[in-house]
Chains A and B, each alone.
Chain A
Amino acid sequence: MPPRKNGTAPMQKPTDVKVTIKRIFSYMYGFKIHFMLVVLGVILSSMSTIAGNALLSPIFDNLKEALTGGKWDKKEFIATIGVMAGIYAVGALSSFMYQRIMLKVSTTTLMRIRNDLFNKMETLPIRFFDKHTHGELMSLYTNDTDTLREMLSNSIAQFISAAITIVGVFAMMLYYSWVLTIIVVVMFVLIIMVIGIVGKHSSKGFIAQQTALGKTNGYIEELIDGQKVVKVFCHEDAANAEFDKLNEELCEAATKANTFANILMPIMNNLSYVHYAATAIVGGIMTVNGFGGMTIGKLVSYLQFTRQFAQPITQVSQHLNAVLTALAGAERIFKVIDEEPEEDNGYVTLVSADIDENGNITEASERTGKWAWRHPHKADGTVTYTEVRGNVELDDVYFGYEPEKTVLNGISLYAKAGQKIAFVGSTGAGKTTITNLINRFYDVPDGKIRYDGININKIKKSDLRRSQSIVLQDTHLFTGTVMDNIRYGKLDATDEEVYAAAKLANADYFITHLENGYDTMLTADGANLSQGQRQLLAIARAAIADPPVLILDEATSSIDTRTEAHIEKGMDQLMEGRTVFVIAHRLSTVRNAKAIMVLENGKIIERGDHNALIAQQGKYYQLYTGMFELG
């Protein structure tokens, strides 16, 4: 098996914010009008708050006049109130409108990103999955899309609204009094500095917290996974002590991080009060002296503005951490989407064929049970057909999962249609690797592997794989009924075909004894079945596909020898007329193979049938008589 990378990616900061944001927006295609409406809605909604407050000023001036002995202009008052109501109504309506539209835009965007990620993932080469842990990839779908969702549904509108409010309020302030606005600018600089300092501490704290959390969670995962061993060795107290240490470290880091995050809000809030007081004092002096045309009404409005100015800045600063995390997550998602998909330059395709008695092959439009390779020749534009028989030929194949470590060192073999070829050898000898090359999970240079005489790199990957069935050691079943899982091998199989395949694999007996028979739901990778039963289902699944080539990679390893003996007939029937590659740990399984290849360090060191190899008294003989370790 190729090496796996352990551990999960550490929390990172986004590297290129601009590019990432642009890319997220590119997923909002078809929503141009929607998006413009959102921006319009945000503008209207923010403006209405500003404008509504601005209208307080004439009302107050009006009242002030009335109090100082003038006449209260009731008509004007009612008119102003009316306008205010109108503005507010528009504000509330547009706020509803933009949020509703944004919901549609954000959920759809998120769906598109998820689909893109998954669709890309399905096309990635196996090599990619070797390099990334499941936890790492899974967190793209959970953590990273969750934070992205948060950002899309809240932060975007918040940011637009904050920007508009800040600009709008600032403009109004400037219009009312440029002198007082100087105070605003000073305050603004001060606020930015505070955010900078606290934010730096806070993000440092969060990274420390994330690291500690990773360690603690890793320990939890490892220990709970090995819980039964812990019990058997009475190791509970030691485990508790070690855990307490990690837990304490996490607690310390998390307290620090959260303290900074929590303190930000009161600081911002109270800075705005200081601002308010300063404005009141200066504004008061100005009003009394009549400096700069300051009136009491204007001052009251102005003081309202100072409150409104502070709010969006506080909000943005609170969202900043979330947005940065979301962008970092989006970058991780896009990195996967940018991965190179499995390379496939194949142009030879698999077609249903009619073959007459002279061996002439014509393409059939319906399923005939016979298959042919359709091979177009670029040079002269002709098309030739070759019957699919299952001849497999490896010619001096060298291969390594990593360039510096070759696993196969010059493998040559020829499997004739209908032959059973077995591979034996210790772990790491390269048995599974050979089968991985035959179905092109990994690629080798041109001409090294030929299938029915055709260079397999010329065959379309999907068609190549369709012509082979594989039963793996770790059987993977999917959520669905037993019936669905067997049908996975041939999606249009009838119920009768499914029953027949199950009977062939000797799985019919236990299936009919399940709670709902063939309609029993399998959950969580078939956890409600034993490993042996799952292997029987996998064999049925391979049988129903009815391919010319069959690869059995430790397919019966979890089935005890007695049951294995019972299904032998079914297996023989399944292998009948197919080219079969068998990898087995148990030598009793491979004994009747036409040719047995003994692998060591990526080389075939012995080949022949069982009797010949026993007679040879070499490695196979040693393995068979138990003088050498497998596994």
Chain B
Amino acid sequence: MYKTVFSYVGKYKKQAILTPITIMGEVAMEVLIPYVMANIIDKGVNKGDVGYVAKMGGVMVCMAIVSLFFGAIAGRFSAVAAVGFAKNLRGAMFRKVQEFSFSNVDKFSTASLTTRLTTDVTNLQNAFMMFIRMAFRAPIMLIFALIMAIRMNGKLSIVFLCVIPLIIIGAALILSNAHPRFKAMLAKYDDMNAKVQENLIGIRTVKAFVREDYEKKKFNDNTEAVRKAQVHAEKLVILSMPLMQMFMYITIISIVWFGSHMIVGGTMELGDLTSFITYVGQILMSLMMLSFLFMMFIISRASLQRIYEVLIEKPEIVSPASSEKEVADGSVSFRNVSFSYFKDMSNLALEKINVDIKSGETIGIIGGTGSSKTSLVQLIPRLYDATDGEVLVGGRNVKEYDLDALRNNVAMVLQKNVLFSGTIKENLKWGNPDATDDEIISACKSACAHDFIMNFPDGYETDLGQGGVNVSGGQKQRICIARALLKKPKIIILDDSTSAVDTATDSSIRTAFRENLADTTTFIIAQRISSVQDADRIIVMDDGKITDIGTHEELLITSAIYREVYESQQKGADE
């Protein structure tokens, strides 16, 4: 997992490696400085040699400047490396998501993908920066300081050997116990946030049922649970600070005690003791940093895991190696097609579908909620793969085509459609980036969108907010149809794409289709019988199966379901 994710450091590897190296320079200075300090006291102050003090003082200032230099470029390198790493990760994930097929997107859900690309990446960026700055600094500091201390006075350093293992054991105990508690705390957090979210979305429901107090009580229970979990987890962590302090104090006292005896015994210089105390600080500080780092590591692990899941996800559907780039015509055949969203033959959305559609035919599809109308047509542009059997377009299995070629020839107007921020024209150009104004206008006329677009003050340059907020439902659907038409496809699929369009406009769209797109195979999924009744053939679906195929007149006689739907919509009008 780590290898995969961290390989995205990529070209910032140089900086990522240079960071600890430059930090080593900084640390070296930091460790040497106390040594200089000791000399200042021993050889300068003690001997009354002001010249020496001044000289060494100058050396120290130079060292500080060197240290500053290293520190500053390390800061720069670490920023470049961590931010660059985040950029690469974000870019890689975004690209990956672009490769995802529908089933991959379904698996993660769009909300979760968004969080993974935003919050999780930021978390990891911060952790990574901390890591390359500290992970080397702390051990290097520890080792340098230990070496200096041992060189200065080996005997006195034995104190460290006694204290360090104790500290490690203490920190390990705290951290290992804290981890599950933190996980539990995060789960409580999620619960609380979920409560807020559902109250935001459902505020009208809450108010309509006068459930404010009920929700308040529930939320207050949530926050209480969060508080308890937080205290439970953090009360362990706050132990670490006094514990470290305690160890530090014990070490200082032991060193002063033994050191003083050595000084009196003449085996140690006075200045060395001061430096030694400085080393105590450095050694313990780096141990503290290490334990803090470990904590960060545990917390960011969750984010890392979530990013990894996206990165290793295999796109379900990819173009074959030697692919066909040309789609011969708009004919479509389903041969014994079964389909399951879960690839489970015992839980089928479509069962043994067999149908042949000639190029240029107009096909209506009717069926109740959950009868798998959408599932059927989604197999044509290969948004999902059939679980069993084969789908042919232009006489070839869809799996043989280059995906872009197939989808450029099979235009689909989705049920849950979206327009993106930008102008109407920019949105239309999704269908064909090189479309001329004339082509755009002609597509919009076919979709009955031209007139209302021209009624906007800015016409085709009208800016749509995110989600296309300032057009009505029916207008949005017509823009989406025009967008699909601009592709000049051989097959066009309208998945309940005119539900918000009035029947008169609906009918003129169909007329325009007949006139301008006579050679294009057209699929129309609709709730309204009127939308499909003049199709060449109508497919009636129920529970994942085709129950009947025929013209409107034929079906009124042969299909009970069709008749029932027809009557439910005609009742009243005939009275």
Q: Is the CB of B253 within 8 A of A270?
A: no
Told that A141-B196, A307-B278, A563-B368 touch, could you supply 4 new A-B pairs with CB distance under 8 A?
A: A122-B215, A217-B118, A266-B70, A631-B500
Selected contact of B63 from candidates A84, A114, A273, CB within 8 Å: A273
Q: Are B45 and A225 in contact (CB under 8 A)?
A: no
> In the complex, what residues of A have CB within 8 A of residue B56's CB?
280
Once the chains bind, are B117 and A224 in contact (CB under 8 Å)?
yes
A255 touches B80 (CB 8 A): yes
In the bound complex, do residue B223 and residue A226 qualify as a contact, i.e. CB atoms below 8 Å apart? no
* Interchain CB contact under 8 A, A627 and B417: no
Q: For chain B, what secondary structure do more than half of its interface residues adopt (helix, strand, loop), or is it mixed?
A: helix
User: How distant is B508 from chain A, measured CB to nearest CB, in Å?
Assistant: 11
CB-CB < 8 A to B418: which residues of A?
225-226, 229
> Could you tell me if B403 and A234 are in contact, using CB atoms closer than 8 angstroms?
yes
B208 within 8 A of partner (CB): yes
Does chain B have a CB within 8 A of A183?
no
For A304, what are the chain B residues with a Cβ–Cβ distance below 8 Å? 274, 277
Kindly identify which residue among B110, B117, B505 contacts A225, using a CB–CB cutoff of 8 Å. B110
Contact of B227 among A45, A56, A107, A588 (CB under 8 A): A107
Interface of A is mostly: helix
Q: How far is the CA of A630 from the CA of B477 in the complex (A)?
A: 12
Give the complex CA separation of A226 and B114 in angstroms. 12
Q: Which of B68-104 contact A (CB under 8 A)?
A: 68, 70-72, 74-76, 78-80, 82-84, 86-87, 90-91, 94-95, 97-102
A259 at the interface (CB under 8 A from B): yes
Contact with B along A238-282 (1 / 0, CB 8 A): 111001100110110011011101110111011101101110110
Q: Is the CB of A259 within 8 A of B214?
A: no
B101 touches A126 (CB 8 A): no
Find chain B residues with CB under 8 A from A93 CB.
242
Looking at the complex, which one of A64, A92, A261 makes contact with B249 (CB distance below 8 Å)?
Answer: A92
**Are A111 and B500 in contact (CB-based, < 8 A)?**
no
Segment of A20-28, A97-105, A408-416 in the binding face: A97-105
A189 is an interface residue with CB less than 8 A from chain B: no
3 shortest interchain CB distances as A-B pairs: A266-B71, A626-B503, A631-B500
Asked whether B45 lies within 8 Å of A259 as measured between CB atoms, the reply is: no
Q: Which residues of B contact A285 (CB under 8 A)?
A: 50, 53
Among B291-299, B322-330, B465-473, B544-552, the stretch in contact with A: B465-473
Do the beta carbons of A6 and B238 come within 8 Å of each other? no
- Complex formed: what's the CA distance from A559 to B530 in Å? 18
Q: Is A167 part of the contact surface with B, judged by Cβ < 8 Å? A: no
With a cutoff of 8 Å between Cβ atoms, the chain B residues found around residue A243 in the complex are 91, 94
Nearest CB in chain B to that of A426: its residue: B472
Fill in one digit per residue for A73-105: 1 if any B CB lies within 8 Å of its CB, else 0.
Answer: 000010001001100110111011001100110
**Contact across chains for B370 and A281 when beta carbons are under 8 A apart:** no
Contacting B at CB under 8 A, from A206-241, are: 213, 216-218, 220-236, 238-240
With A233-B431, A236-B99, A561-B569 as given contacts, are A63 and B264 in contact (CB-CB < 8 Å)?
A: yes
Cα A628 to Cα B506 with chains together (Å)? 10
Q: Using Cβ atoms and an 8 Å threshold, which residues of chain A touch B350?
A: none
A465-B211 Cα distance, complex, nearest whole Å = 10
Interface flags for B213-237 (1: CB within 8 Å of A; 0: not) read 0111001100110110011001100
B339 CB → nearest A CB, Å: 17
Asked if A216 and B216 sit within 8 Å, CB to CB, the answer is: no
Alpha-carbon separation in the docked complex, A315 to B64 (Å): 19
A263 pairs with B502, CB closer than 8 A: no
Q: Assess whether B53 is in contact with A280, with CB atoms less than 8 Å apart.
A: yes
Evaluate contact between A626 and B242: CB separation under 8 angstroms.
Answer: no
A564 neighbours in B (Cβ, 8 Å): 568
A6 x B466 contact (CB < 8 A):
yes
* Contacts known (A123-B212, A247-B91, A626-B504); A258 close to B129, Cβ less than 8 A: yes
Please encode chain B, from 35 to 66, with 1 for each CB lying within 8 Å of some chain A CB and 0 for all others: 00100110011101010011011101101110
Instruction: Give min CB distance, A567 to chain B, whole Å.
Output: 12
Q: A99-B241, A229-B417 are in contact. Are A77 and B83 (CB under 8 A)?
A: no
- B306 at interface by CB-CB < 8 Å: no
Q: Please, how many angstroms separate the alpha-carbon atoms of A630 and B487 in the complex?
A: 28
Could you list 8 examples of A-B contacts with CB < 8 Å? A99-B242, A114-B192, A239-B98, A269-B30, A284-B40, A441-B204, A626-B502, A626-B506
Tell me the bound Cα distance from A104 to B209 in angstroms: 36
- The answer to the question of B383 belonging to the interface, with a C-beta cut-off of 8 Å to chain A, is yes
Known A126-B204, A630-B474: A224·B114 in contact at CB below 8 Å:
yes
B residues near A92, Cβ cutoff 8 Å: 242, 245-246, 249
Task: Kindly state whether residue B133 has any CB partner on chain A within 8 Å.
Answer: yes
Q: Is B412 an interface residue (CB 8 A)?
A: yes
In this assembly, does B256 line the interface, its C-beta being within 8 Å of a C-beta of chain A?
Answer: yes
Are A66 and B208 closer than 8 Å at their CB atoms?
Answer: no
Interface centre among B239, B369, B469 (most CB of A within 10 A): B369
The residue on A at minimum CB distance from B413 is A232
One of A317-325, A468-476, A496-504, A598-606 contacting the partner = A468-476
* Inter-chain contacts of B381 with A (CB < 8 A): 232
B507 to chain A, nearest CB (A): 8
Name the B residues within 8 Å of A6 (CB-CB): 465-466, 469
A119–B222 Cα distance when bound, in Å, is 13
A233 to B60, CA, bound (A): 66
Number of interface residues of A (CB under 8 A): 155
Q: Tell me the minimal C-beta distance from A394 to chain B in angstroms.
A: 19
Residues of B within 8 A of A52 (CB): 249, 252
Q: Which residues of B contact A288 (CB under 8 A)?
A: 45, 48, 50
Contact of B234 (CB < 8 Å), options: A103, A270, A427: A103
User: B421 an interface residue at 8 Å Cβ cutoff?
Assistant: yes
- Are A265 and B83 within 8 A (Cβ)? no
Closest CB in chain B relative to A562 CB, distance in Å: 5
Question: In whole angstroms, what is the CA distance A611 to B572 when docked?
Answer: 9
Which residues in B have their C-beta under 8 angstroms from that of A104? 231
A489 at the interface (CB under 8 A from B): yes
Confirm or deny: B168 has a beta carbon within 8 angstroms of a beta carbon on chain A: no
B273 — which chain A residues lie within 8 A by C-beta? Answer: 60, 63
Q: Which residue in A258, A270, A527, A563 is a CB contact (below 8 Å) of B79?
A: A258
Q: Tell me, rounded to whole Å, the shortest Cβ–Cβ distance linking A616 to chain B.
A: 16
Q: Mark A105-134, 1 if CB is under 8 A from B, else 0.
A: 001101100110011011100100100001
Contact between A280 and B37, CB atoms less than 8 A apart: yes
Distance to closest chain B CB from A557 (angstroms): 9
Bound form: Cα–Cα A558–B500 in Å: 12
Which of A118, A248, A254, A263 is within 8 Å of B76, CB to CB?
A: A263
- A439→B50 contact, CB < 8 A: no
Given contacts A81-B257, A243-B91, A624-B573, contact A88 B65 (CB under 8 A): no
A455 on the B face (CB < 8 A): no
With a cutoff of 8 Å between Cβ atoms, the chain B residues found around residue A573 in the complex are none
Q: Is A454 an interface residue (CB 8 A)?
A: no
A612 CB to closest chain B CB (Å) equals 13
- Which of A60, A261, A263, A588 is within 8 Å of B568, CB to CB? A588
Give a binary string over A421-446; 1 marks a CB under 8 Å from any B CB, 0 the rest: 00000111000000000010100000
B465 CB, nearest partner CB in chain A, Å: 6
B155 adjacent to chain A (CB < 8 Å): no
**Do residues B210 and A479 form an inter-chain contact, with CB atoms below 8 A?**
no
- By a CB distance below 8 angstroms, the chain A residues around B95 are 240
B234-275 interface (Cβ within 8 A of A) = 234-235, 238-239, 241-242, 245-246, 249, 252-253, 256-257, 260, 263-264, 270, 273-274
The 8 A CB mask of B180-205 against A (1 = contact, 0 = none) is 00000000000011111111111111
Enumerate chain A residues within 8 angstroms of B86, measured Cβ to Cβ. 251, 254
Q: Which residue in B110, B215, B224, B407 is a CB contact (below 8 Å) of A111?
A: B224
Query: Which of B114, B209, B257, B467 has the largest number of chain A CB atoms within 10 A?
Result: B209
Within 8 A of A (CB), among B360-399: 368-370, 381, 383
A232 touches B414 (CB 8 A): yes
B569 contacts across to A, CB distance below 8 A: 561, 588
**CB-based contact A228/B102 at 8 Å:** yes
| A122 adjacent to B227 (CB under 8 Å) | no
Question: Nearest residue in A to B40 (C-beta to C-beta)?
Answer: A280
Contact A95 B474 (CB under 8 A): no
